[in-house]
Structure 1
């Protein structure tokens, strides 16, 4: 349980994930695939603007990349519980590389138009919604339990570093070469990850469990398991607070930059860089943790509370350097909470439900910031950011106190 280090939470000190040969074989695949994926996502967004000069179509493409995960993740979570996640990751990585290659060929042949872009965006969204559950289900099979937070932390570092480098590399390739070359580069990077992934054995599925019940019966079992598992419900609650506070603020950086700082594109670039640096630092912090749940919970709660105060401070800051420092600290706290909550969910869940539970965690972590950004943005237009940000922070602190009270009382 989340109240002590007993039972599942019992653990020793920190042990690096790189001490495990399986993780060492997997990590280069993660680097290549994540960097290639971020280049591809950037290129699709850039292509939407290049083809239409319309912010609406850019938003539609972004929505098509995200929406399938919100709908299909639970179904692919079931799949990841029925197969070896390594094999699922091989398939989805191959699909990502193929889609990038198809985009490059379409550009070269002169066939790259808006319908092709929309079709590629939908296909990539579906492939990504399949990849996330199998990747999350694979990681615990690569390391011993004590190294799980370290593995998740290093995965977060890879993700957030690629989120910064990918768009920069994609933009440079467009400027110095061509869009087709950029698409082919993304395809090549993702293809480079496949040989490393072939060296990973992964986890064999529980064939007996999978054969006992149908696909949708397993979906219901996963939902019932999550609903009746108090610790996992609490972890989901903390994840929701983080998504609606820190993650939401990160989604609204362009608006915050324009309204509170009266900034331009260089101002936004500075804030984005600060957020990126903070997220990398947050991943480093979690990568140094062991599997003692009480320590992870304390770290998560402290960062959630700190995040609420940082969000409040943003509303009353008008100097770029101070604002960038607050954003960097908030990004660090938000990343620590996100990776810690994922680690806690991984430590709590039974293997046979891992894919299904983590697919629900993914839906919550990805979908809530979209709702939060819409709500916070509308309220800020009506009441201004300096009033709305403290209100959001206060609500987050109240929810945090409520969940922590239930955590302390759980048996």
Structure 2
């Protein structure tokens, strides 16, 4: 078997990988800091349940613009130079973070400003996510594509899970340090994208009306049951069992470990995800990928349930480490299946649909967690979500046998698109 170049030996992909990792860490670190500041400000005048509800609304503020823009951003990612999309959104993030940092330093930060920043961040992420995802396959030869997708997914997932720990720990040192570090990471991300020269991108289908091309992306996801299963499983499991939105409540009022403890709790999932990612970089998954994804999702749900019931800081931290590792397995499989089973001309639109479900599970999940915490209390909300995630995983294994039967990442044959029908054929 002939050797294929590893993606990280290709300069453009290496710059892309550093950019995506740095940008994702910065964005998710910012999210945990905004959450802490919202909850801390709210607790000055509200009780725990009222403040928990407000904390959840931060997630909703990020989700709404992303949800509304999803049909547009996928089309943009398939029509406009993906490098410039990321450059523009990263610049917008730098400006937003700088404003928050200055207001924090001056002591003038307030809830309306934080919610406004959350909306701007949601808009930036709506455009950058599909562009980042669809850009990776354009940077490597076809034979390196599976590894490139896995390595790109690792950058995103490690960044999204490790970012909150970085944000929590830096904020515990000093808020000004945290904001300065996030700006620096975003500048690294921006520099990386500017280092990528011209890359081929699928030509715009000039004979298509925009609405027809948008519908193609949704139609593809609906008709490809394997892609549909992986996307919706993540949507419902993380929507139910995502406990990260409630970490400020656990750190402040349940485990009583403060901002520094919040950093360590958030680091738990990052430790688990990073360890698993390193393992996959040496031992890529090759067989029974669907069954392993389902098993990992069950482990994730049980770990979150354990975290919800724990009153011990160390047990809570251990549960989050396990949850992070299991989540990394799930994302590794999901992203590889989605990207390899999607033709390049549609990757932007399919990535936009995938991002919408990821955001629904994360940001909308934060709103759901905040609402449930205001009704059931934070512990009740996490326990309810963990049990619900277990039920959904078992149900999906029955509803989508394609997922259980997926043995490898490779699609059965090379995919092309028939634009007039919006379906995939050999």
TM-score of the superposed pair, with normalisation by structure 1:
0.78
Q: Is the 8 A contact 2:305 2:386 kept in 1?
A: yes
Structure 1: 5+ residue runs without aligned partners? 1-10
Quote the Cα distance in structure 2 between the aligned partners of 1:125 and 1:140.
25
| 1:283 partnered with 2:277 | yes
Q: Is the 8 A contact 1:22 1:200 kept in 2?
A: yes
Q: Is the 8 A contact 1:157 1:283 kept in 2?
A: yes
* Matched residue, 1:206: 202
Q: Is the 8 A contact 1:242 1:334 kept in 2?
A: no
Q: Is the 8 A contact 1:76 1:130 kept in 2?
A: yes
Quote the Cα distance in structure 2 between the aligned partners of 1:386 and 1:197.
38
Quote the Cα distance in structure 1 between the aligned partners of 2:120 and 2:161.
23
* Matched residue, 2:79: 82
Query: Per-residue deviation at 1:80?
Result: 0.5
1:229 is aligned, of 217, 221, 224, to: 224
Quote the Cα distance in structure 1 between the aligned partners of 2:37 and 2:266.
21
2:233 is aligned, of 222, 238, 245, to: 238
Alignment of 1:3-402 (within 5 A): 16-42=6-32, 44-45=34-35, 48=38, 53=44, 55=51, 59-104=56-101, 115-143=112-140, 144-147=144-147, 148-174=149-175, 179=176, 183=179, 185-201=181-197, 203-209=199-205, 211-244=206-239, 247-253=241-247, 263-265=255-257, 270-288=264-282, 290=284, 292=286, 294-311=287-304, 319-369=312-362, 370-371=364-365, 373=369, 377=373, 388=384, 391-392=387-388, 394-402=390-398
Q: 1:366 and 1:394, CA in 2 relative to 1: closer, same or farther beyond 3 A? A: same
Quote the Cα distance in structure 2 between the aligned partners of 1:305 and 1:110.
44
Q: Is the 8 A contact 2:237 2:361 kept in 1?
A: no
Q: Is the 8 A contact 1:28 1:193 kept in 2?
A: yes
Quote the Cα distance in structure 2 between the aligned partners of 1:102 and 1:255.
26
Provide the secondary structure at the position in 2 that maps to 1:212.
Answer: coil
Q: Is the 8 A contact 1:150 1:289 kept in 2?
A: no
Q: 1:406 and 1:380, CA in 2 relative to 1: closer, same or farther beyond 3 A? A: farther
Most deviating of 122-131 and 183-192: 183-192
* Matched residue, 2:416: none
Quote the Cα distance in structure 1 between the aligned partners of 2:39 and 2:308.
31
Quote the Cα distance in structure 1 between the aligned partners of 2:252 and 2:95.
39
Q: Is the 8 A contact 1:241 1:399 kept in 2?
A: no
Quote the Cα distance in structure 1 between the aligned partners of 2:64 and 2:326.
26
Query: Per-residue deviation at 1:200?
Result: 1.3
Quote the Cα distance in structure 1 between the aligned partners of 2:383 and 2:40.
37
Query: Per-residue deviation at 1:303?
Result: 1.0
TM-score of the superposed pair, with normalisation by structure 2:
0.75
Structure 2: 5+ residue runs without aligned partners? 46-50, 407-411, 413-426
- Alignment RMSD (CA, Å): 4.0
Query: Per-residue deviation at 1:326?
Result: 2.9
Q: 1:59 and 1:228, CA in 2 relative to 1: closer, same or farther beyond 3 A? A: closer
